């Protein structure tokens, strides 16, 4: 049966691409309320697709964007039951002027020797979630059945902190509980090496607003006498790291353990060269904490980053103003052992201690998720590893990832369900940036990989 | 004759207000190229007004916004010849949401016991320049003549660094040279105390752009390993001042002299209370350099201020990005003895020394003007002082100002022409900020003040 399913996938690549393009044209930006209706439309599109495949699917309302939930029975009552997770929302597209084409007019383009799918969401996560749905389509076409029972859960708020996700999981735990979650939102080690992600950093996101005077001031009339909130904010942000790149928030590293030697050795065997990672983005030396290898820095060490800053006159020209307020968006990548709530409190105290008299600070919370570490003895792991190695004709790497995928921790905690993280995007896919792309090969072999994994898990 | 002219001004206040409103409706924002045509339209409006009054006036093209130049003969060949300077361009109106009304739909409003003219440019500088033009109108109506020969020069780029001003002065020096410049772009000491401004701080404006990676990066994939230009920029801006509020740019204070004791004593006599100055803007303690009085800080000490900052995701929501670039607009208020060009070089070197490997910095220049200190023995000064004291029934204060008026230095240097700075706006006029206003009393008594000054200078 496997060969038939794989051939079905090969023969229908063009049609699957047409479907993906239709999905990519929908502007499901979840971080901007202006695109709320587009998110609903995208959920509806997915529900219709899944119903076409024989899933019982529906759009499920939340306080934010809707969830898509769909169920398909397996070959028998006691067969394996997997829950597939993906997200249909995408990142904003600014700065728009850096895109070579309209981010919501996807196209197949040549990039060197490769063909790539270009558009917002191509890799994160619409292209990835469609690899799984297209694999299910191939099973149905060949066999009329799926090899395992499948629940599909597609979220519409992953890029904006998933505010509805935990309440939804809690309210629908009986319906959503399965033996294993399959999550497709990660990268391959490189173009030829398939990967399973064993550890993920958590994420804590905060917006700070510093307020000084009650209105914008003329810097000639008040300069030298009035507090400048940009200067105050700059001093706070400058204080966030010491000269060695360590985060200075008190107790930030409490509970953080050294990476196990065996894991470090296996990472060393990947022959990862810092210069290869940095050269494509125009850099040559790693920043961040001294005395750690680059892989540790991005996989196993926590960070603090400023993701946005604004204040005063930002447009064309010059305005000699001392603004009333200044804003920064700061996020922390967290590792195993760090409690996001404790770090939020410590960070807010750190900022408050640096706000001078007459000025005030307010915080806006954009969500918090702990890090996740997958148990290395997971029984399903070996099967998936073998299936991936066969498809790609290359040994599967067991890696960590610097990005957070909060659902993984939520599945474990709320549904007591382990997750298997397999994804096919690449580091140069420009996710969260202009000109996002997904290799046609990722999309094609991703479908074939899921076909192999599902059959392998079923046996 | 004086009484007739003053009565003419009183009787025509309503009509003069109608004319000012027409001028305030024109969106002559010079810092934003989108309003280029509005600036031209404003210049044309002023030329027509001045022609109506019998001036030989025309719009004079420059590389930027046009100048308005108009001439009117005096009562005799050897009479005094003054050049009146004002600027018809205005500041941008952002943040627009903080305006109570459309900034370009001026209106007369009640503010406590007072009537005020509300709208962008009401005080800076359209309302002020119209006080002079309306005074000329009254002389013409009463006498058919002006008491002195008058050249009027109205600039359209004062709020954007006056890039065309020096070239225009140099190319038209014979035409523009007069005995004395009258500049109406300053404030009164308070609502009852007329003022002549004796010293002005200079201004140096620079935009910095820090570039790190060649594209925006996902903070999960790259965070901890890639340079963050916002953090680098924050560290530079945080370094600009030491713990005592002094500017740390090397040689910044070279040539800066202590304020003369007599001047400090006369300022002390003004009974200026820091809390009165700061309370209206919601502050209570002076920032800036330790060990200086507030008046020294804003009148006689140089400063560094960040007027704008931007980078990464600034809109609604959260985006876990490490941006490629970050930007800041920084300006320096300069005092007598500081060379703007030397300080520009020192600042750029200061920044460059703090840009780490792999990152780069670029600068954009928004103009530089030295400080100006008026000679205290100017013969015209006493006459103007007496005329103002009579109109306002209050002794005229000799003050300094923290804001720069670069034209004053240019008049001295290029035309060897001293300037008399008399203005009627107030510290609470919200210039460069939302809800800019100009007291009706300032507009009315400003016209009367110029009538008195012109007659007094003529004799």
Q: Is A74 on the interface with B (CB under 8 A)?
A: no
- HEC-encoded secondary structure of B347-359: HHHHHHCCCCCCC
| A319/B31 CB distance under 8 A | yes
pLDDT reported for residue A379? 81
The packing angle between helices B13-24 and B126-143, to 10°, is 140
Instruction: Tell which of B185, B200, B225, B298 to mutate to test the A interface (max A CBs under 10 Å).
Output: B225
Contacts of A159 in chain B (CB under 8 A): 319
pLDDT reported for residue B88? 98
Q: Which of residues 6 through 65 in chain B touch A, CB cutoff 8 A?
A: 30-33
Q: Is A291 on the interface with B (CB under 8 A)?
A: no
pLDDT digits (tens, 9 = 90+) for A42-52: 999 999 999 99
pLDDT reported for residue A377? 67
Least confident of A238-242, A443-447, B233-237, B259-263: B259-263
pLDDT reported for residue A142? 97
pLDDT digits (tens, 9 = 90+) for B330-355: 999 999 899 999 999 999 999 999 99
Give CA–CA dist A355/A361, Å, rounded: 7
Contacts of B95 in chain A (CB under 8 A): 216
pLDDT digits (tens, 9 = 90+) for A84-139: 999 999 999 999 999 999 999 999 999 999 999 999 999 999 999 999 999 999 99
pLDDT averaged over every residue in chain B: 94
Q: Higher confidence at residue A376 or residue B42?
A: B42
Domain termination residue (choose one: B312, B337, B369): B369
B343 part of a folded domain: yes
Nearest CB partner across the interface for B281, out of A213, A366, A427: A213
Give CA–CA dist B174/B47, Å, rounded: 21
B20 min Cα distance to partner chain A (Å): 23
- HEC-encoded secondary structure of chain A: CHHHHHHHHHHCHHHHHHHHHHHHCCCCECCCHHHHHHHHHHHHHHHHHHHHCCCEEEEECCCCCCEEEEEECCCCCCCCEEEEEEECCECCCCCHHHCCCCCCCCEEEEECCEEEEECCCCCCCHHHHHHHHHHHHHHHHHHCCCCCEEEEEEECCHHHCCCCHHHHHHHCHHHHCCCEEEECCCECCCCCCCEEEEEECEEEEEEEEEECCCCCEEHHHHCCCCCCHHHHHHHHHHHCECCCCCECCCCCCCCCCCCCHHHHHHHHCCCCCHHHHHHHHCCCCCCCCCCCCHHHHHHCCCEEEEEEEEEECCCCCCCCEECCEEEEEEEEEECCCCCHHHHHHHHHHHHHCCCCCCCEEEEEEEEEECCEECCCCCHHHHHHHHHHHHHHCCCCEEEEECCCCHHHHHHHHHHCCCEEEECCECCCCCCCCCCCEEEHHHHHHHHHHHHHHHHHHHC
**How many CB atoms are located within 10 Å of the residue B260 CB?**
11
B280 part of a folded domain: no
The packing angle between helices B2-11 and B13-24, to 10°, is 60
Instruction: Tell which of B305, B316, B433 to mutate to test the A interface (max A CBs under 10 Å).
Output: B305
Q: Higher confidence at residue B159 or residue B259?
A: B159
| A215/B240 CB distance under 8 A | no
Contacts of A287 in chain B (CB under 8 A): 224-228, 356
B227 part of a folded domain: yes
A439 part of a folded domain: yes
A264 part of a folded domain: no
Which residue of A lies nearest to B324 if distances are taken between CA atoms?
A: A281
C-alpha distance from residue B52 to each of A191, B89, B195, B242 (Å): 77, 22, 31, 56
Q: Is B291 on the interface with A (CB under 8 A)?
A: no
| B223/A277 CB distance under 8 A | no
Which residue of A lies nearest to B215 if distances are taken between CA atoms?
A: A281
Instruction: Say yes or no: B80 and B227 in one domain.
Output: no
B228: left (phi over 0), alpha (psi -120 to 50) or beta: beta
Query: What's the token pair of residue A30?
Result: 């979840």
| B427/A322 CB distance under 8 A | no
In this prediction, residue A375 has a pLDDT band, given cuts at 50, 70 and 90, of low
| pLDDT surpasses 70 at B219 | yes
Instruction: Please state, for a pLDDT cut of 90, what percent of chain B lies above it.
Output: 81
Domain termination residue (choose one: B317, B350, B369): B369
A229 part of a folded domain: yes
Do residues A179 and A80 touch, judged by C-beta distance below 8 A? yes
Instruction: Say yes or no: A7 and A137 in one domain.
Output: yes
Please state the rounded mean pLDDT for residues B411-426: 94
A414 part of a folded domain: yes
pLDDT averaged over every residue in chain A: 94
Please state the rounded mean pLDDT for residues B378-393: 92
Contacts of B281 in chain A (CB under 8 A): 213-215, 217, 222, 226
B48 min Cα distance to partner chain A (Å): 29
Contacts of B205 in chain A (CB under 8 A): 318, 320
Task: Pick the closest to residue A424 from A158, A66, A149, A116 (CA basis).
Answer: A116
Instruction: Quote the domain boundaries for residue A121.
Output: 2-200+372-458
Q: Is B243 on the interface with A (CB under 8 A)?
A: no
In this prediction, residue B396 has a pLDDT band, given cuts at 50, 70 and 90, of confident
Q: What's the CATH number where B233 sits?
A: 3.30.70.360
Contacts of A239 in chain B (CB under 8 A): 238
Please state the rounded mean pLDDT for residues A330-347: 95
| B219/A333 CB distance under 8 A | yes
Residue in the structure block whose two tokens are 């599945």: A411
B188 min Cα distance to partner chain A (Å): 13
Contacts of B297 in chain A (CB under 8 A): 224-225
Instruction: Say yes or no: A99 and A61 in one domain.
Output: yes
Query: In chain B, how many domains are there?
Result: 2
| pLDDT surpasses 70 at B376 | no
B268 part of a folded domain: no
| A160/B223 CB distance under 8 A | no
Contacts of A218 in chain B (CB under 8 A): 403, 431-433
Instruction: Say yes or no: B172 and B103 in one domain.
Output: yes
| B289/A427 CB distance under 8 A | no
pLDDT digits (tens, 9 = 90+) for A176-201: 999 999 999 999 999 999 999 988 89
Q: Which of residues 108 through 147 in chain B touch A, CB cutoff 8 A?
A: none
In this prediction, residue A376 has a pLDDT band, given cuts at 50, 70 and 90, of low
Q: Is A437 on the interface with B (CB under 8 A)?
A: no
| pLDDT surpasses 90 at A266 | no
Query: What's the token pair of residue A456?
Result: 């392998």
pLDDT reported for residue B375? 64
Instruction: Say yes or no: B365 and B378 in one domain.
Output: no
Instruction: Tell which of A195, A290, A317, A421 to mutate to test the B interface (max B CBs under 10 Å).
Output: A317
Q: Please, what sign has the CA dihedral across residues A438, A37, B218, A446?
A: negative
Instruction: Say yes or no: A94 and A223 in one domain.
Output: no
Q: Higher confidence at residue B413 or residue B365?
A: B365
Instruction: Say yes or no: B340 and B428 in one domain.
Output: no
A-B C-beta contacts closer than 8 Å: 358
Contacts of B158 in chain A (CB under 8 A): none
pLDDT digits (tens, 9 = 90+) for B82-122: 999 999 999 999 999 999 999 999 999 999 999 999 999 99
Instruction: Tell which of A305, A325, A326, A427 to mutate to test the B interface (max B CBs under 10 Å).
Output: A305
pLDDT reported for residue A33? 93
Nearest CB partner across the interface for A225, out of B187, B237, B287: B287
In this prediction, residue B227 has a pLDDT band, given cuts at 50, 70 and 90, of very high
pLDDT digits (tens, 9 = 90+) for B115-127: 999 999 999 999 9
pLDDT digits (tens, 9 = 90+) for A413-435: 899 998 999 999 998 999 999 99
Instruction: Say yes or no: A183 and A244 in one domain.
Output: no
B73 min Cα distance to partner chain A (Å): 36
In this prediction, residue A74 has a pLDDT band, given cuts at 50, 70 and 90, of very high
Instruction: Say yes or no: B135 and B11 in one domain.
Output: yes
Q: Is B206 on the interface with A (CB under 8 A)?
A: no
Please state the rounded mean pLDDT for residues A217-227: 91
**How many CB atoms are located within 10 Å of the residue B295 CB?**
22
B5 min Cα distance to partner chain A (Å): 34
Nearest CB partner across the interface for B303, out of A33, A91, A223: A223
Q: What's the CATH number where B432 sits?
A: 3.40.630.10
Give CA–CA dist B112/B109, Å, rounded: 10
Contacts of A322 in chain B (CB under 8 A): 305, 307
Instruction: Tell which of A123, A223, A327 to mutate to test the B interface (max B CBs under 10 Å).
Output: A223
| pLDDT surpasses 70 at B377 | no
Instruction: Say yes or no: A77 and A164 in one domain.
Output: yes
| pLDDT surpasses 80 at B458 | yes
| pLDDT surpasses 80 at A353 | yes
B157 min Cα distance to partner chain A (Å): 11
pLDDT reported for residue B403? 75
Contacts of A205 in chain B (CB under 8 A): 318, 320
Q: Is A322 on the interface with B (CB under 8 A)?
A: yes
Q: Is A365 on the interface with B (CB under 8 A)?
A: no
Q: Is 0.80 surpassed by the pTM of this model?
A: no
Q: Is A326 on the interface with B (CB under 8 A)?
A: yes
Domain termination residue (choose one: B349, B369, B389): B369
Contacts of A98 in chain B (CB under 8 A): 215
Do residues B6 and B390 touch, judged by C-beta distance below 8 A? no
Instruction: Tell which of A34, A224, A294 to mutate to test the B interface (max B CBs under 10 Å).
Output: A224
Instruction: Say yes or no: A190 and A215 in one domain.
Output: no
Instruction: Say yes or no: A246 and A386 in one domain.
Output: no
């Amino acid at each position: 049966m496997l060969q038939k399913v794989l051939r079905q996938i090969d023969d229908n690549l063009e049609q699957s691409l047409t479907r993906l393009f239709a999905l990519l044209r929908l502007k499901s930006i979840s971080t901007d309320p202006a695109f709320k209706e587009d998110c609903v439309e995208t959920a509806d599109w997915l529900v219709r697709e899944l119903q076409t495949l024989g899933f019982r699917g529906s759009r499920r309302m939340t306080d934010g964007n809707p969830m898509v939930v769909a169920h398909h029975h397996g070959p028998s009552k006691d067969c394996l039951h997997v829950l597939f997770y993906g997200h249909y929302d995408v990142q904003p597209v600014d700065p728009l002027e850096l895109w070579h084409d309209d981010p919501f007019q996807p196209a197949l383009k040549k990039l060197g020797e490769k063909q790539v799918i270009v558009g917002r969401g191509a890799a994160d996560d619409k292209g990835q979630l469609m690899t799984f749905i297209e694999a299910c389509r191939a099973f149905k076409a060949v066999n009329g059945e799926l090899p395992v029972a499948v629940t599909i859960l597609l979220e519409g708020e992953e890029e904006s902190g998933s505010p509805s996700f935990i309440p939804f999981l809690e309210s629908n735990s009986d319906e959503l509980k399965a033996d294993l979650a399959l999550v497709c939102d990660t990268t391959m080690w490189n173009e030829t090496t398939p990967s399973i992600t064993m550890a993920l950093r958590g994420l804590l996101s905060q917006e700070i607003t510093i307020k000084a005077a009650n209105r914008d001031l003329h810097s000639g009339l008040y300069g030298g006498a009035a507090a400048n909130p940009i200067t105050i904010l700059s001093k706070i942000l400058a204080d966030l790291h010491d000269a060695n790149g360590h985060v200075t928030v008190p107790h930030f590293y409490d509970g953080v353990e050294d990476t196990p030697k065996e894991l470090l050795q296996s990472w060393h065997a990947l022959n990862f060269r810092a210069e290869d990672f940095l050269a494509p983005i125009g850099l040559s030396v790693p920043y961040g904490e001294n005395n750690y290898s680059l892989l540790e820095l991005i996989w196993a060490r926590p960070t603090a980053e400023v993701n946005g800053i604004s204040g005063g006159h930002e447009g064309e020209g010059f305005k000699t103003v001392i603004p009333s307020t200044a804003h920064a968006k700061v996020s922390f990548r967290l590792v195993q052992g760090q409690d996001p709530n404790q770090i939020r409190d410590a960070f807010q105290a750190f900022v408050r201690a640096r706000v001078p008299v007459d000025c005030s600070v307010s915080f806006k919370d954009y969500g918090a998720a702990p890090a996740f570490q997958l148990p290395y003895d997971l029984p399903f792991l070996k099967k998936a590893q073998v299936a991936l190695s066969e498809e790609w004709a290359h040994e599967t790497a067991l890696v960590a990832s610097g990005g957070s995928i909060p659902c993984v921790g939520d599945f474990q905690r709320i549904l007591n369900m382990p997750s298997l993280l397999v994804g096919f995007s690449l580091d140069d896919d420009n996710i969260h940036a202009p000109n996002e792309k997904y290799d046609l090969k990722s999309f094609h072999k991703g479908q074939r990989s899921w076909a192999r994994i599902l059959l392998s898990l079923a046996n």
